[in-house]
Amino acid sequence: MDLIAPIRLGLETALSLSNLFYCLSGVFVGTLIGVLPGLGPTATIAMLLPLTFGLPSDSALIMLAGIYYGSQYGGSTTAILLNLPGEAASVVTVLDGYKMARAGKAGAALSAAAIASFVAGTLATILIALFAPPLADVALSFGPAEYFSLMVFGLVAAIVLARGSLLHAFGMVILGLLLGLLGTDTNSGVARFTFDLPELADGISFVIVAMGIFGLGEILRNLESETGEDVTISKVTSLLLTREEWKRIVAPILRGTALGSALGILPGSGSILGSFAAYSLEKKVSKHGSEFGQGAIEGVAAPEAANNAGAQTSFIPMLTLGIPSNPVMALMIGAMIMQGIQPGPGVISEQPALFWGLIASMWVGNLFLIILNLPLIGLWVRLLRVPYPLLYPVILSFCAIGVFSLNGSTFDLFLMPIFALLGYVLVKLGCEPAPLLLGYIIGPMMEEYLRRALLLARGDATVFVTSPVSAVMLGLALVTLIFVLLPAIRRKRDEALQEEV
């Protein structure tokens, strides 16, 4: 496969002055939200979606992608210096990173995290360039039945890998599917679930749902848990690693990258699962296993490599199949749709500059991260001294302006707090909102492919099992669901969830 010409096209796109600016802006904002606890990439991207309306499609996606993988990097800074993970994927980094900082090795821990993130991000970008085009070629041969079954499998995997009760996750997916059906039926022209409100004839904007549940909902949860505690900053000395420390992190970085890359493709929180799995693996195979939990540098390098690799390979199913593997990828698909781009395998052939430009920008963005962030560690930590009650009015105003700018509708402004309250209540009930967003994105596409398949088959529903690919996808979905419902598996899953809580 000839990659020279596509990569050259990608570099030309990514290295334009405007896209360099948006890439730098994305990774800067991503690092900032990774540093600030409570404000994750999902909420931030949801709030920034309205700003992308006037941008070129490649610039918009490059900036949003930079926010995502930049946040994975930023979460490690406060995890190491303050024992406070800015991102869920950085929870494992706390175990050894903070112990290193307390022992006067904060600089070495930060350098190990930065190096692991850069190497993992670079290798994961290469994997995307190698495997995404062949996967897209395979997907182009899919028909409506195959796509429908693929989406069923994706939703089942999202249910299985979601944190919390399986029943709750299933309910969230169903609620998301129902919300996605709201509006005018494209085939019959009949209004559905609109309660005779003309404002709902076109459905509810994806931005309103995402910004309400993840943006304002996050504000409500943060205000409730705000403690107002002051932070104690560990002193950062030399950022240079010794020869022994270099030797100790090379293998963990490579193993963490491989594990995180594989898990990142799966639906669910791949970067979070990857960091936990990489830490567990290193603890078993390392010659310094007894040091884990006491300040082992491998305990910083491996999970940081895994969560950054997982964050980037999660783009593979989104770019090639149009299937979001996590809430951030669902937001990316929403951004593509708003830009007039149909997600799926046709992106590579129809929008090659966008596809390869996005991939090339990931390497550029990782380079920006390592050059930009180590000198700014002091700035990031100072931002943590800003009380959250001073930040949330700014965030709230930004959300309101963004939603109103969509259609200039006050009705949309009333909808946003309703979804914020819904998101808050769901979390209080132990329901993870992420599967809802996945169901909301995939629902309309599932319905369309279901109808097309039945139309082509003249109403014969057996088309979903007579097609080999479709039958395999449905079979995998069924086996996955049965496997996770086995008593022994459910018991282990519940124990793991209790430990995480």
Separation CA 94–CA 271 (nearest Å): 16
Residues 6 or more apart whose Cβ sits within 8 Å of residue 105: 295, 297
Closest-CA residue to 89 (of 378, 380, 309) = 309
Separation CA 32–CA 115 (nearest Å): 19
Q: What is the DSSP string of 84-128?
A: --SSGGGHHHHHHHHHHHHTT-HHHHHHHHHHHHHHHHHHHHHHH
Q: Please count the other Cβ atoms lying within 10 Å of the Cβ belonging to residue 375.
A: 9
Closest-CA residue to 78 (of 69, 63, 89) = 89
- Residue 128 corresponds to which amino acid? I
Extract the tokens encoding 251: 């293998």
Residue 501: what pLDDT?
44
Cβ 157 vs Cβ 483: under 8 Å = no
Cβ 87 vs Cβ 30: under 8 Å = no
Q: Please count the other Cβ atoms lying within 10 Å of the Cβ belonging to residue 458.
A: 7
Please report, in tens digits, the pLDDT of each residue of the chain (501 residues total). 567 888 888 889 999 999 999 999 998 888 887 776 556 677 778 777 777 777 888 899 999 988 888 887 777 777 777 666 656 667 678 788 888 887 878 788 888 888 888 898 889 888 888 888 887 777 777 788 888 888 888 788 777 766 667 788 888 888 888 888 888 887 777 888 888 888 888 888 777 887 788 777 767 777 776 544 444 555 566 667 888 888 888 999 999 999 888 877 766 555 566 777 788 888 888 887 777 878 888 888 888 888 888 888 888 888 887 777 777 888 888 888 888 888 877 888 888 888 899 989 988 988 888 887 767 766 766 666 666 677 677 777 777 776 777 677 788 888 888 888 888 888 888 887 778 877 887 788 888 888 889 888 888 888 898 888 889 889 988 888 887 776 655 555 555 544 444
Residue 121: what pLDDT?
85
Separation CA 433–CA 429 (nearest Å): 11
Residue 327: what pLDDT?
77
- Cα distances from 103 to residues 107, 189, 259, 290, in angstroms, run 11, 67, 29, 17
Separation CA 27–CA 307 (nearest Å): 16
Query: 183 φ, ψ to 5°?
Result: 125, -160
Cβ 184 vs Cβ 390: under 8 Å = no
Residues 6 or more apart whose Cβ sits within 8 Å of residue 406: 50, 205, 207, 208, 412
